[in-house]
Amino acid sequence: MRFAPSPTGFLHVGSVHTALFTWLFARHNKGSFILRIEDTDVERKVEGSIEAIMDGLRWLGLEWDEGPEVGGNYGPYFQSQRLELYHEAARRLVSQGDAYYCYCSPDRLDEMRAEQVRRKQPPGYDRLCRDLDQTERDRMEASGITPVVRFKTPLEGKTGFKDIIWGDIEFDNSTLDDLVLLKSDGYPTYHLANVVDDHAMEISHVIRAEEWVSSTPRHILLYGALGYQPPYFAHMPLLVGPDRAKLGKRHGAVSVTEYRELGYMPEAMLNFLALLGWSLDDKTEIFSREDLINNFSLERVSRTAATFNHEKLKWMNGLYIRNLDLDDLTRRALPFLDTGLPLEVKRPLSIEYVRQIMPLIQERMREMAEVTDLAHFFFSEELSYESELLIGKGMNQESALQALKVSRNRLGEMTGFDTESLEVLLRPLADELGLKTGQLFGVLRVTVTGRAAAPPLFQTMAVLGRDLCLRRIEAAIEKLG
């Protein structure tokens, strides 16, 4: 099996979806997973995208058995390094009479198509050059035109194939036009290159997105003309946005890099993507990589396009985060804190301190990048919040001020400063002050964290430490007074 992206930018989640299913199929069946770079479009090639693709796949753990940087017996794995193979195939097809040189200019083709659309005809090459004789060809050659090679599609008959996911699909050859195989710049089109390579690399199963269904008959025809046995085809359901159109940039984050930077875990990403167009049964939805490999089958892939639901991904990522052990969580969160926290915060961050904070915010994170916002008050000296926030329901400035002053004194006299002693001290204190526990705790929470919603108070204070807590109480008293 192979995953064959073209290096035209970032690694798209749709591509990863296909890569994942291909990889799962390969792993499940003990086949090999090949990465092949389809760099046959010089114009659209984007610098650095090959690295982005490889980085992305590796981050997700979709390791390839053959391909760039790993090698293999069927290389090279860049189509731009395999041009001779395509030329040879094209020459053979021409000499067999299954392909021909076409001298039509792009301008003529554009006009032709515009005219066809105007007349509401299906657009397609009009086969002007299909039956050129030798003298006409010589004349064209002499005028300096570099021809393209086009496939001589049979005019009649039907071409069908059995798709593992879709079943039997059949096309009338009359609806297919003479596609270009070799471009005038000497590069092959996808159609030629993919057929030649899939055969040369002994690909048994071609797994790709649904958008390729309509060009599959052309490929079948090509395999036939070349005398090759076609592989099995499995077309995957498309990933779409909320408007049901093919997932694209306008739908928000579509590159794996973006998700990585937001703090999505590869495990969650794969789990989520696997459930788009595939399911095991009516209840299982949390799968480890191994579970996926063990249970995957193309027969259970659905045919309907799936909406990429960010909300569910977020939920699932949160679930994975909650399942992390302390060390793992700390290790993964550290880089996000490092880049996300304000410059004033001293670096390097104390791993021990971060370790103490993590349990307090673990169940509140859904994207790892949220760690910065959730934990910033553990690091910043100054807190900024509106003083009204200190005055809770049923309280006024005076009672808040008094609560703070008394708390300051008591806290200062404490011997220990752990969660339990804080609770033992503070809980009765509310009563003494004539406040409900919620009121007292509320004032202190805002004082100590700068916000109304935060992790449990006593634990938070214990981590912050007595000094910082007292300084913040002073600051709050000042704010109110």
- Scan residues 142-161 and list those touching RNA (CB under 7 A): 148
Rounded (5°) CA angle 251-253-257: 155
Smallest gap from Cβ 390 to RNA, in A, equals 14
Among 96, 288, 297, 304, binds RNA (CB under 7 A): 304
Site string for RNA, 191-210 (x = CB under 7 A): -------------------x
Q: Is 105 in the site for RNA (CB under 7 A)?
A: yes
**Is the Cβ of residue 14 or residue 266 nearer to RNA in the bound state?**
14
Site string for RNA, 431-460 (x = CB under 7 A): ------xx--xx--x------xxxxxxxx-
Taking residue 131's Cβ as centre, other Cβ atoms within 10 Å add up to 9
Smallest gap from Cβ 344 to RNA, in A, equals 25
Among 120, 250, 346, 347, binds RNA (CB under 7 A): 120
Q: Is 106 in the site for RNA (CB under 7 A)?
A: yes
Q: Is 327 in the site for RNA (CB under 7 A)?
A: no
Extract the runs of DSSP E, i.e. beta strands, from 380-451: none
How many DSSP H helices and E strands does the chain contain? 19, 11
Q: Is 118 in the site for RNA (CB under 7 A)?
A: no
In the region spanning residues 231 to 290, those forming contacts with RNA, defined by CB under 7 A, are: 237-238, 240, 243-246, 275-279, 281-283, 285
Catalytic residue among 120, 162, 249, 283: 249
393 in active site: no
**Is the Cβ of residue 190 or residue 338 nearer to RNA in the bound state?**
190
Asked whether 147 and 140 are in contact (CB, 8 A), the reply is yes
In the region spanning residues 397 to 426, those forming contacts with RNA, defined by CB under 7 A, are: 423
Among 13, 180, 203, 324, binds RNA (CB under 7 A): 180
- Characterize the bridge pairing of strands 239-240 and 306-307: parallel
Among 294, 300, 414, 431, binds RNA (CB under 7 A): 300
Contacts 24+ apart (CB under 8 A), 40-47: 40/6, 40/79, 40/80, 40/187, 40/188, 40/189, 40/190, 40/193, 41/6, 41/8, 41/187, 42/185, 42/187, 44/6, 44/8, 45/7, 45/8, 46/7, 46/8, 46/9
Smallest gap from Cβ 315 to RNA, in A, equals 4
Smallest gap from Cβ 303 to RNA, in A, equals 4
In the region spanning residues 4 to 33, those forming contacts with RNA, defined by CB under 7 A, are: 4-6, 8
Q: Is 80 in the site for RNA (CB under 7 A)?
A: no
Alpha-carbon distance of 3 to 19, in angstroms, equals 6
User: What are the helix (H) ranges across 263-307?
Assistant: 266-274, 289-295
**Is the Cβ of residue 249 or residue 481 nearer to RNA in the bound state?**
249
Q: Is 185 in the site for RNA (CB under 7 A)?
A: yes
Asked whether 74 and 66 are in contact (CB, 8 A), the reply is yes
Alpha-carbon distance of 206 to 190, in angstroms, equals 14
Asked whether 305 and 237 are in contact (CB, 8 A), the reply is yes
State the catalytic residues: 249
